[in-house]
Chains A and B, each alone.
Chain A
Amino acid sequence: SYELTQPLSVSVALGQTARITCGGNNIGSKNVHWYQQKPGQAPVLVIYRDSNRPSGIPERFSGSNSGNTATLTISRAQAGDEADYYCQVWDSSTAVFGGGTKLTVL
C-alpha cells in the first residue's frame, strides 16, 4: 500500500517561512492535497492539486510537488497558522493521508 511520510513537528518563528514536507514514492506523479486542522475542529482544505488555493485561503499558503516530495509552504507565519497539517493523495481509488505535522509558531 502507498505510504506518505511527514515530519512529526515543524517550528517556525513568527513572520518567517515554514515548510512542511510530504514524502512518497514518485509522489510528483500524483495530485497532492493539504489540510489544516486546529484543535477540536474539522480539517480544512488549504491546498489542492499540488499548488492551488481554495477561495478564502490566504496567498501565504502555497504548495509544490516534484519527484518524491511535496511541500506545503507557509510564508509570513502567523500565530493563527499553528495547527496540524496533513497531506493526502489518491492511490488505486484509495485515499491516503500522511501522518500529520504539528506546526508550532514561536
Chain B
Amino acid sequence: QLQLQESGPGLVKPSETLSLTCTVSGGSISSSSYYWGWIRQPPGKGLEWIGSIYYSGSTYYNPSLKSRVTISVDTSKNQFSLKLSSVTAADTAVYYCARGDLYSGSPLDYWGQGTLVTVSS
C-alpha cells in the first residue's frame, strides 16, 4: 500500500523559506507512470494546486506561485520536496503531497495526511 508522509517545520517566519519533504513508501518515486505534486489548503478554504514534478524531471507550477516555488526529487531517498520562498501569512495552510496517475487522466490518487504550516513571527 502506497503511503506518503509530509515533514517539515510547522512554523515559519515571514519572508523566510518554507521547506517540506514528502517521503514515499510502498512504491518507487522513480516510476514513469506517476507524477508527484504539492497541494495546499488555507484554514477553512479550498484546495490550491502548488505544482508537480514528473519522472523526466520536468516541473510545472501554479502561475500565481511560480516565482516563489521549487519542487525537486531525491530518488535515492524516495522523497520529493517543496520550497516556497518569501512567505507571508497568506501562505499559512495545510500542505499535502500527493501522487498522480499519468495513465488515468492524471488524477491525484494517493495523498499524504497533510501538515499544517503557520507563517508567523
Contact = CB atoms under 8 A, between A and B. Distances in A.
Contacts of B104: 48-49, 52
Interface stretch (A16-24, A71-79, A90-98): A90-98
B63 to A, nearest CB: 7
Contact of B47 (A48, A49, A86, A94): A86
Interface in B76-116: 96, 101, 104-109, 111-114
Contact of B49 (A41, A45, A48, A97): A97
A44 interface: yes
B107 A94 contact: no
Contact of A100 (B46, B106, B107, B113): B46
A42 B47 CA distance: 11
Interface of B: 37, 39, 46-49, 52, 60, 62-63, 96, 101, 104-109, 111-114
